[in-house]
Amino acid sequence: ERKKNERKLQYLSHYDYLTGLRNRHGFEHDSQLLLKKYTTGIGIIVCDVDGLKLVNDTIGHDFGDKLLQDVAQIIKNSVREDDITARVGGDEFCIAVPLTKPGIVENIIYRLRQEIKEHNRMNPILPLSLSLGFAVSQDQRVDIEALFKEADDSMYRQKIHHNLSTRSIFMEKLMKMVDEKGYINSEQVKRIQQYVSLMAANIDLSERQLDGLLLLAKFHDIGKIGTPDHILTKPEQLSEKEKKEIERHCEIGYRIAQSIPGLSSIAELILKHHEWWNGGGYPLKLKGEEIPLECRIFSILMAYDAMTTGRPFRPALSHREAIAEIEKNAGVQFDPDLVPVFLQSVGMGRAGAEDAKMPMP
């Protein structure tokens, strides 16, 4: 058992656990051995994953880790047996190539680009982009670290040009994925926006607040792109673990909105739209007026819409039943000062007026 643990520690000291490639220490050690074995010189290729931080910050580290594993496989598919491959940083990979024939480094870069094209053809929703740089030396006494820096500088010159276009393409693809997976329900958006207009007539909202609410109606669930499909489509009630997973959509949505110029103004509202008046909501456990006014309004409207349209695990309530639930939860889930405004807005206060104004779901 002790020897087994020693072997494991030895492996981890030279290899990256996520990708199976060498780590920086393993790369430095083995590239020196490579230099001694081949007298014809050596080439260094540096690859950097464009937009990895954006992927991690928006749809989560699980997606980012999968992207890193895909890059590692692309590198493995593109090199020869004697080439040294490594993940030398969070989003940076390196290949040491013995110069056994003219143009070998350029050939490997060509294969890398072809592999990336094929990967993106098979994965059009979240395409992969790598910035590549290289340097070569035929001097057997070359300083590997200096050669690496030369290749790294070459890569960064390319990355400057890649970053803006990569960000733009990624966000465009992300929004397309959101639309295709149905995280924006156009019928629900229409209903919520009608509810907003009804309440706005009875509350002194600024134009900015009204615009924020109308945007929130459309994009509040954008973070569900980071929630596994089997949880979102589960017909039964969710387990506690699954509930925790789905609650992450507020934070994921916040990070996505921050990355999109047109949505950055409502990032905070997306983060806080599931907070409760009594502090029992998520993710920040805010209470009372710590919660933005727009979120307190939206909380009531979303609850009404959810109750009257139903969910996979429970039937829809009638208008009167939904109103009764909202009244019951005033001061608990909902702002007690806004509930009467909501009731007035829908034409059904405690007097029980019959002419409810809410649009039919």
CATH (domain of 33): 3.30.70.270
Tokens coding 65: 């880790």
What are the backbone dihedrals phi and psi of residue 119, each rounded to the nearest 5 degrees, phi first? -60, -45
Please, which residues have CB within 8 angstroms of residue 2's CB and are 6 or more apart in sequence?
none
User: Taking residues 65-79, what's their average pLDDT?
Assistant: 95
User: Taking residues 137-147, what's their average pLDDT?
Assistant: 88
Q: Does some domain include residue 355? A: no
Residues 60 and 195 in one domain: no
User: Taking residues 155-163, what's their average pLDDT?
Assistant: 75
Count of H-run helices and E-run strands, the chain: 15, 4
Q: Please list, residue by residue across 280-301, b when 16 or more beta carbons sit within 10 angstroms of its beta carbon and e when fewer do.
A: ebbeeebeeeebbbbbbbbbbb
Q: Does some domain include residue 119? A: yes
Supply the pLDDT for residue 98.
94
Reported as a pLDDT band with limits 50, 70 and 90, residue 226 is confident
Reported as a pLDDT band with limits 50, 70 and 90, residue 163 is low
| Listed range (8-22, 237-251, 315-329) with the worst mean pLDDT | 8-22
Supply the pLDDT for residue 337.
96
Average pLDDT, the chain: 86
Reported as a pLDDT band with limits 50, 70 and 90, residue 63 is confident
Higher pLDDT, 350 or 42: 42
Domain-terminating residue out of 132, 147, 180 = 180
pLDDT, tens only, 284-317:
999 999 999 999 999 999 999 989 886 666 788 8
- 84 - beta bridge partners? 96
Residues 25 and 138 in one domain: yes
Supply the pLDDT for residue 261.
72
Q: Does some domain include residue 276? A: yes
Query: Which residue range forms the structural domain that includes residue 47?
Result: 2-180
Reported as a pLDDT band with limits 50, 70 and 90, residue 48 is very high
Furthest-apart CA pair in the chain: how many Å? Answer: 93
Higher pLDDT, 309 or 83: 83
Residues 170 and 212 in one domain: no
Tokens coding 195: 């509810």
How many CB atoms neighbour CB 216 within 10 A?
Answer: 25
| Listed range (270-284, 289-303, 338-352) with the worst mean pLDDT | 338-352
Q: Does some domain include residue 353? A: no
Relative orientation angle of helices 207-219 and 293-309, to the nearest 10 degrees: 40
- Cα torsion 180, 184, 190, 192 to 10°: value is 170
Q: Does some domain include residue 159? A: yes
Residues 251 and 162 in one domain: no
Supply the pLDDT for residue 353.
37
Q: Does some domain include residue 357? A: no
Supply the pLDDT for residue 356.
46
Q: Does some domain include residue 358? A: no
User: Taking residues 194-214, what's their average pLDDT?
Assistant: 89
Supply the pLDDT for residue 354.
41
Reported as a pLDDT band with limits 50, 70 and 90, residue 164 is low
Supply the pLDDT for residue 148.
93
Cα dihedral 209, 211, 217, 218 sign: negative
Distances (CA, A) of 142 to 23, 34, 146, 174, 236: 21, 12, 8, 44, 64
pLDDT, tens only, 235-264:
788 899 999 989 999 998 998 888 777 788
**Which CATH number goes with the domain that contains 336?**
1.10.3210.10
Cα dihedral 334, 336, 342, 343 sign: positive
Q: Does some domain include residue 351? A: no
Supply the pLDDT for residue 36.
87
Supply the pLDDT for residue 316.
87
User: Taking residues 23-35, what's their average pLDDT?
Assistant: 91
Residues 139 and 208 in one domain: no
Residues 41 and 172 in one domain: yes
Supply the pLDDT for residue 255.
86
Does residue 233 carry a pLDDT above 70? yes
User: Taking residues 168-192, what's their average pLDDT?
Assistant: 75
User: Taking residues 45-74, what's their average pLDDT?
Assistant: 88
Tokens coding 316: 């829809």
Tokens coding 358: 């809410």
Give the rounded percent of residues in the chain with a pLDDT score beyond 90.
48
Residues 129 and 206 in one domain: no
Domain-terminating residue out of 160, 180, 200 = 180
pTM reported for the whole predicted model: 0.65
Residues 8 and 153 in one domain: yes
Kind plus residue range of the DSSP H or E element containing 46: strand 42-49
Supply the pLDDT for residue 360.
47
Place of tokens 């966000």: 171
Cα dihedral 247, 251, 256, 258 sign: positive
Residues 154 and 203 in one domain: no
Supply the pLDDT for residue 351.
36
Domain count, the chain: 2
DSSP letter at 151 equals H
Higher pLDDT, 313 or 96: 96
